[in-house]
A and B are shown apart, each in its own frame.
Chain A
Amino acid sequence: AQSVTQLGSHVSVSEGALVLLRCNYSSSVPPYLFWYVQYPNQGLQLLLKYTTGATLVKGINGFEAEFKKSETSFHLTKPSAHMSDAAEYFCAVSDRGAQKLVFGQGTRLTINP
């Protein structure tokens, strides 16, 4: 069964610093890959997704992620953290042809002033 691993349940960075949130998936066949963000007491919002084509994907709020097949990874980055980026981030995968999403455990991002 497909699985997703997010390294680090909590990540803390200073405002203006690089944000790096790690995600690895288990499938030998590249799945569709997603990053979602969840602000307190809100639902999930899609940040970006990879389905096919260019492996570097740009999303909303200055985030981007790179699909690396050889490393089975889809890490999320942002060059300069902003206080408003504090939230929980979920990596998710879906087998091609499937409908449901399989989520990682989530990473809570804290931004220090």
Chain B
Amino acid sequence: GAGVSQSPSNKVTEKGKDVELRCDPISGHTALYWYRQSLGQGLEFLIYFQGNSAPDKSGLPSDRFSAERTGGSVSTLTIQRTQQEDSAVYLCASSLNGRTSRDEQFFGPGTRLTVL
């Protein structure tokens, strides 16, 4: 079946602009995660959605970052007033249950964001 998909695959933007990154999880997966992969920081957790529960936003680096998940499926990560340090690959993952990390997280191919 279809895996996790992300769009766009590449995004180049100018400093100060807002960007939206989209994630389509595997159908039926109730948990959705966003991670960021950058040269300086490695792979970092950003945010986690589980069903209708309040999201765990503990990994968001600043209030310029926000995410939503509509209808328990598609998620959008928004970065406002982008800075050069936001340049990274943004990875989305989903898992079937996600109530504990025992569930395998399936990763999408990522969106490479470049802020000029």
Q: List the interface of chain A (C-beta within 8 A of B).
A: 32, 36, 41-46, 49, 51, 90, 92, 94-106
Chain B residue with the shortest CB-CB distance to A90: B43
Q: A43-B4, A43-B91 are in contact. Are A106 and B42 (CB under 8 A)?
A: yes
Chain A residue with the shortest CB-CB distance to B109: A43
A105–B40 Cα distance when bound, in Å, is 10
* Interface assignment of B77: CB less than 8 Å from any CB of chain A: no
Chain B residues contacting A46 (CB-CB under 8 Å) are 104-106
The answer on a CB contact under 8 Å between A101 and B42 is no
* Interface assignment of B33: CB less than 8 Å from any CB of chain A: yes
A43–B93 Cα distance when bound, in Å, is 9
Chain B residue with the shortest CB-CB distance to A49: B104
The answer on a CB contact under 8 Å between A99 and B101 is yes
Q: What are 11 A-B residue pairs whose CB atoms fall within 8 Å in the complex?
A: A43-B91, A43-B107, A45-B107, A90-B43, A98-B101, A99-B33, A100-B33, A100-B56, A101-B35, A103-B44, A105-B42
Chain B residues contacting A103 (CB-CB under 8 Å) are 35, 42-44
